[in-house]
Amino acid sequence: MRARLCIVLICLSAVLFSGCQSSRKIETAQIIENVTISEKEGQTLYTFYILSSADTPLKTEIPAESFEQACELAQNQYIPNITLSKLELLMIEESLIDRVLKTDIEYISTQPSFSPSAFVTLCDRKTLEKFAESTREQDIIEEQLILLKKNNPAVNINYLSVFNHFETKKTSEFLVGTVSFDGELKIGEKKDIKNEK
Amino acid sequence: MSKVRFSSKRLLLTLMLCACSVILLQNYDISQNSSFVFNLLCMLCGLAVCFALFVPSIIIKKRTNLDFLTVAHTVTPKLKIPIAVLYSLYFVWAAEFFLLPYTDMFSKKYYSDVTPCLIALILLSACVYAALKGVNVITRFGIFLFVFALLTNILMFGGSTGTLDFELYGFEISGNLNDFIQNTVYFIIPAFIVTLFACLSGKTKNFRLRQPLFALLVTGVKYGLIMFFIWFSLGDYASKQEYQTFILARAARIGFFGGIESLYLALATMSVFMIISLVLCAVTKSAGRESDIKYVVIFAVIIFAAHMCGSYLNSVKEIFTNNYIFAVFTVITAAVIPSMYIFAGRKSNARKALHSINMS
Amino acid sequence: MNNSLAEILSELKADFSDSADLTIRNLTLKSERQIKAAIVTIEGLCDKEQLSQSVINPLLPYDFKSMKGAEAADIILNSVMASSDVVVIYTKAEIISFITSGFAVIIVDGAQQMFAVGVQGYSFRGVNEPESEVVQRGSREGFSEPLRVNMSLIRRRMKNPDLVFEQMTVGSESKTQLMLCYIKSRVSAKLLGKLKKRLNKCNLDSVLASGYLSEYLEDEKSSRLFSGVGISERPDTVCGKLTEGRIAVIVDGTPAVLIVPRLFVEEFQGVDDYSNRTYYAAFIRLTKYLSFFAALFLPGLYVALAQFHPEYFPTGILIKTSESLAQTPLPVTLETLAITFIYEIMKEAGLRIPKSLGHAVGIVGALVIGESAVNAGIISSSTLMVVATAAICSYVTSPLYPPVTMLRFIFIIIGGLCGLWGIVIATAVMIISMCSKTSLGVPYMSSLAPFSLRTMRDVFVRADWKSLSKHIIKVQRFKETEV
């Protein structure tokens, strides 16, 4: 009995004194649901959309050279309790494909916090503007991406497949889904991405 | 502690779970340059070696119905202390071999803020409690862990079937001699269950040859499935991150339901808990003080101290987690030394002594 | 013992300290020798009318002629008394034991033997349906306080001469009677011997309820979190257990009968399972198991996820939960602990409060805590939902309520301090503890661990009766039973 009590007290004091204060509490965690990468005045802009129930999206725009830099700046300066493990959608403006796609996907592949099943898609500027107005667009885009994959298995819609296509020695070009806005959201155009070795 | 004999089937089930857990903490141990089929062949070789290592323990068990340590203490009482020292050292090493990667995985993949030593302390405290209850109780726990492992594996593999891609990666055989040696040595690691079996099988009944064979077979199937899904579902993505089985669990999704890495964490935790509990039972048995609280606590403190050294000193960690050293040590304790006793046990005075223990 | 009536009576008066309820009716038998006799009773315990009809009325007119005391006593036993329940006794201790059980003791001057006549007439609660074990299709009878009534309820259902009632006495002051009830052809003699040994070790002064004995019947060095001693107030349940080689301990003055050995899987078995259709019984059983897990783990998991792993919540629930928790002042762990504790207080109050005030308390509980506290932002609705769900689930398997409640608190604290990982470790320790527990040497987790395929027919599902009746289950035959 005494031995059990000693063990419990040791464990309890060890736990209390060594780090449960820094838990990621649900009420203070700022969970990022989407990230969009766009160009503004020649600079790459990373926009982090924070999960909330409001109709208007809660977002933070961070100018950075890469996703890695953007995440660091976000944590240090803008969003201290940032949590990226629930990231579901990454949208990249088409003009930035060559600049950021490979490096950012490479960075995401090395981080344990990102889910490899998160969606990746290219888009045009109008889509990004529309996206900034309402949070309902994310669900529509995700559903359409899944439908796209079902109709054409060759299209890559998540990190895993996009990354693996970058790495594999077999193919030199592969397909990624794109989103465009022309009066309404349209998903289905495929883009041939060059796999540069 | 219960004195009744329990089913050998249950002990082998528990050891099978321990062997399966080796791949849960796999971290670049399998060569990244060789193909899936090549790794599969290496796995078959490694497990065949494991079964060969089982043979001396099986012979001792069949002949005497006792565990190897009891036989050793009876046949050569003068060598009691060297045997105890050797096997105690082996078991402490085995505990570190699993504990260090586990706490490393936990810290890197789940929670970087918590110190690994705290994880080790709490886990070891729980293992001390389990070790005091004895092997029989731990094997009963193994039944629940088996059901949970089955569920987790079904979810993990089921959730990864959606991302299988056979176009990018094929079934070619590619690898060289170094890859073969590296992989085969890795797949000899599960032979640590042979040493555990040799030390803990004294109180089992109804032992059959097919039991260790079946245990290794199921272990092979699990290894094969995990390697298959890592290769065809994760592809090169897996080679970018540590602890690929964690990544496999992370990537698995059933519909919109994810979070299977939490089940993986639970499975890895319970497996390591079970391994270290069995190790503590075995190490106190090797010291001739089975389930004595003082000795269990002493060895737990030794393991904790070794873990602290390993956590803070990379060189110590590399020694403890070196596959080659552990494999050689396992071969010695699992097969070489028990083989010597197979011949020593044939002597008439040894036979008489063993018979009298059996009768009592 | 002394044959003199006067001395016996004076010793009795001295032992009872001239207690007002000790009643002595002195008689002079009709005989040439004027033989003195006395009838000793305890006021309120015997039926006076029955005493008059079966003892006094036949005794007074009988002519004993010139018989001596001993001869007269023989005649009284064999020819005079009209009662069917007569026990011959010889010692003062037996006099005390019988008169305090409602018997009337007849003492004849000069005779060595005395007679205890069964004329019990004390008031007792009738045979009602037990409130704690309500069933839909089973019997509505439940045990009552008197030992003999309970024995008769069992005997009526088991018309088997192998059914044995063995009497024992416990409590140095209360001298409480108890009966060990078992079926001789089914029970293990070693198990029975173990039980008797433990009951003999009971050194309590008074045993006022069967629960007092539970701790003496538990195995030493076995975990006390879950109980290895079953309790039932239903005769049909007890009879069912007796056929499996178990032993029932019926304690005088308590309707709760102890049954040993007790296994974990029995906590999920109910009388209705065996009366209902097999598919429905299976559904109810599985619901009970799920409810057990929900009651045990739900609040702890909720706290662990909210505190450490919010990303595991589905998106919709995540938004609602984080918004509701953000409005409350307390951290989620403290909030959950507080609501769980308040619930326990309300439950205890509900048990003891007079029925006339029950409505008011119900309204206060529901409105004040349920609605006002949430609207005021003191507690969050999601936490309240989780705790309420767990509380309701814990009543599905009410015998497990005490350990489930304690473990729930432990899991909440561990979840709040260590997250999911802590809950996993705690679960592992709990399973080890349960697997190491034995009940009279039978592993507590029998059927599950050690695993037995044959007995699994009645664990998660209930196989049909044709299948169940093929093999007789005897508890001493479970694997690794230490008898």
Higher pLDDT, A167 or C327: C327
A53 close contact with B: CB closer than 8 A: no
Total tally of structural domains belonging to chain A? 1
Domain boundaries, chain C: 5-118, 147-262, 277-436
A1 close contact with C: CB closer than 8 A: no
Is the Cβ–Cβ distance between B282 and B87 less than 8 Å? yes
What are the strands, taking DSSP E only, across C68-215?
A: 86-89, 103-108, 114-118, 163-170, 176-183
Predicted pLDDT at C269: 92
Percentage of the residues of chain C whose pLDDT score is greater than 90 = 58
Minimum Cα–Cα distance from C221: chain A residue? A1
Asked if the Cβ–Cβ distance from B143 to C436 is below 8 Å, we say: no
Residues from chain C contacting residue A29 (CB–CB below 8 Å): 310, 322
Asked if the Cβ–Cβ distance from B240 to A110 is below 8 Å, we say: yes
Asked if the model's pLDDT at residue A2 lies above 90, the reply is no
Q: pLDDT category, B75, cuts 50, 70, 90?
A: confident
Predicted pLDDT at B191: 96
> What integer best gives the mean pLDDT of chain B?
91
Minimum Cα–Cα distance from B203: chain C residue? C480
Nearest to C245 by CA among C291, C323, C185, C298: C185
Higher pLDDT, C471 or C335: C335
Instruction: Quote the ipTM score.
Output: 0.94
What whole-number distance in Å separates Cα of residue A61 and Cα of residue A54? 18
Predicted pLDDT at C1: 61
Is the Cβ–Cβ distance between A145 and A114 less than 8 Å? no
| Bridge-based pairing state of the strands A89-93 and A119-123 | parallel
Predicted pLDDT at A176: 84
Q: Residue B254 carries which side chain, given as an amino acid letter?
A: I
The neighbours of chain B, by the rule of 3 or more Cβ pairs under 8 Å, are: A, C
Could you read off the pLDDT of C104-149 as tens digits, one per residue?
999 999 899 999 999 988 888 888 888 888 888 888 899 999 998 9
Predicted pLDDT at C301: 96
Is the Cβ–Cβ distance between C482 and C302 less than 8 Å? no
Give the pair of three-digit tokens for residue C434.
Answer: 């349960």
Q: pLDDT category, C468, cuts 50, 70, 90?
A: confident
Minimum Cα–Cα distance from C427: chain B residue? B270
What whole-number distance in Å separates Cα of residue C258 and Cα of residue C231? 5
Higher pLDDT, B120 or A22: B120
Query: Which range has the worst mean pLDDT, A23-32, A121-130, A186-195, B12-21?
Result: A186-195
Q: pLDDT category, C223, cuts 50, 70, 90?
A: confident
Q: pLDDT category, C186, cuts 50, 70, 90?
A: very high
Asked if the Cβ–Cβ distance from B265 to C424 is below 8 Å, we say: yes
Task: Check residue C377 and report its DSSP letter.
Answer: T
| Mean predicted confidence (pLDDT) in B71-98 | 92
Could you read off the pLDDT of B234-266 as tens digits, one per residue?
888 888 888 999 999 998 988 878 889 999 999
Is the Cβ–Cβ distance between C321 and C307 less than 8 Å? no
What whole-number distance in Å separates Cα of residue C241 and Cα of residue C238? 5
Task: Indicate the SS3 state at residue B270.
Answer: helix
Nearest to C435 by CA among B270, B126, B137: B137
What whole-number distance in Å separates Cα of residue C187 and Cα of residue C163? 10
Could you read off the pLDDT of C436-464 as tens digits, one per residue?
999 999 999 999 989 998 888 899 988 88
Residue A8 lies in a domain: no
Nearest to B199 by CA among B73, B315, B29, B292: B73
Could you read off the pLDDT of B201-226 as tens digits, one per residue?
988 989 999 999 999 999 999 999 99
Predicted pLDDT at B89: 95
How far is the alpha carbon of C427 from chain B, nearest alpha carbon, in Å? 9
DSSP β-bridge partners for residue A120: A90
Q: Which of C311, C312, C383, C413 to mutate to test the interface with A (most CBs of A within 10 A)?
A: C311
Residues from chain C contacting residue A31 (CB–CB below 8 Å): 310-311, 318
| Mean predicted confidence (pLDDT) in C463-480 | 87
Nearest to C432 by CA among A2, B288, B276: B276
Cβ-count burial C152-180 (b if 16+ within 10 Å, e if not): ebbeebbeeeebbbeebebbeebbbbbbb
**Which of the listed CATH numbers 3.30.70.2660, 1.20.1740.10, 3.30.1700.10, 3.30.980.10 matches domain B6-355?**
1.20.1740.10
Asked if the model's pLDDT at residue B331 lies above 80, the reply is yes
Could you read off the pLDDT of B149-203 as tens digits, one per residue?
999 999 999 999 988 888 877 888 888 999 999 999 999 999 999 999 999 998 8
Asked if the Cβ–Cβ distance from B241 to A167 is below 8 Å, we say: no
Higher pLDDT, C111 or C360: C111
Task: Write the CB contacts of A134 (distance below 8 Å, at least 6 apart in sequence).
Answer: A55, A56, A57
DSSP β-bridge partners for residue A123: A93, A179
B121 close contact with C: CB closer than 8 A: no
Residue A90 lies in a domain: yes
Predicted pLDDT at B165: 84
Q: pLDDT category, C357, cuts 50, 70, 90?
A: confident
Give the pair of three-digit tokens for residue C5.
Answer: 């009536």
Could you read off the pLDDT of A93-110 as tens digits, one per residue?
988 888 888 788 888 888
The neighbours of chain C, by the rule of 3 or more Cβ pairs under 8 Å, are: A, B
Residue A135: C-alpha distances to residues A130, A139, C322, C369, C464 (Å): 9, 8, 18, 35, 55
Nearest to C459 by CA among C258, C277, C273: C273
Q: Residue C387 carries which side chain, given as an amino acid letter?
A: V
Task: Indicate the SS3 state at residue C319.
Answer: helix
B278 close contact with C: CB closer than 8 A: no
| Mean predicted confidence (pLDDT) in A121-146 | 83
Is the Cβ–Cβ distance between C440 and C260 less than 8 Å? yes
Asked if the Cβ–Cβ distance from A31 to C325 is below 8 Å, we say: no
| Mean predicted confidence (pLDDT) in C68-86 | 89
| Mean predicted confidence (pLDDT) in C262-291 | 93
| Bridge-based pairing state of the strands A185-194 and C103-108 | unpaired
Mind giving me the DSSP string for B5-50?
-EEHHHHHHHHHHHHHTTGGG--S-S-SSS-HHHHHHHHHHHHHHH
The boundaries of the domain holding residue A107 are 28-194
What whole-number distance in Å separates Cα of residue A31 and Cα of residue A33? 6
Give the pair of three-digit tokens for residue C241.
Answer: 């257990």
Predicted pLDDT at B339: 92
Asked if the Cβ–Cβ distance from A116 to B118 is below 8 Å, we say: no
For residue A33, which phi and psi values (nearest 5 degrees)? -100, -40
Is the Cβ–Cβ distance between B63 and B55 less than 8 Å? no
What whole-number distance in Å separates Cα of residue C196 and Cα of residue C302? 46
CB-nearest partner of A27 from C308, C313, C325: C325
Could you read off the pLDDT of C7-61 as tens digits, one per residue?
999 999 999 998 899 999 999 999 998 999 999 999 989 898 999 998 899 888 9
Percentage of the residues of chain B whose pLDDT score is greater than 70 = 95
pTM: 0.90
CB-nearest partner of A163 from B109, B237, B253: B237
Asked if the model's pLDDT at residue C375 lies above 70, the reply is yes
> What integer best gives the mean pLDDT of chain A?
80
Q: pLDDT category, A18, cuts 50, 70, 90?
A: low
What whole-number distance in Å separates Cα of residue B147 and Cα of residue B130? 19
| H-run or E-run covering C119 | none
Task: Write the CB contacts of B104 (distance below 8 Å, at least 6 apart in sequence).
Answer: B27, B116
Domain boundaries, chain B: 6-355
> What integer best gives the mean pLDDT of chain C?
90
Asked if the Cβ–Cβ distance from C326 to A33 is below 8 Å, we say: no
DSSP β-bridge partners for residue A51: none
Q: Which of C421, C444, C446 to mutate to test the interface with B (most CBs of B within 10 A)?
A: C421
CB-nearest partner of C322 from A12, A23, A26: A26
| Mean predicted confidence (pLDDT) in C293-306 | 95
| Mean predicted confidence (pLDDT) in B36-50 | 95
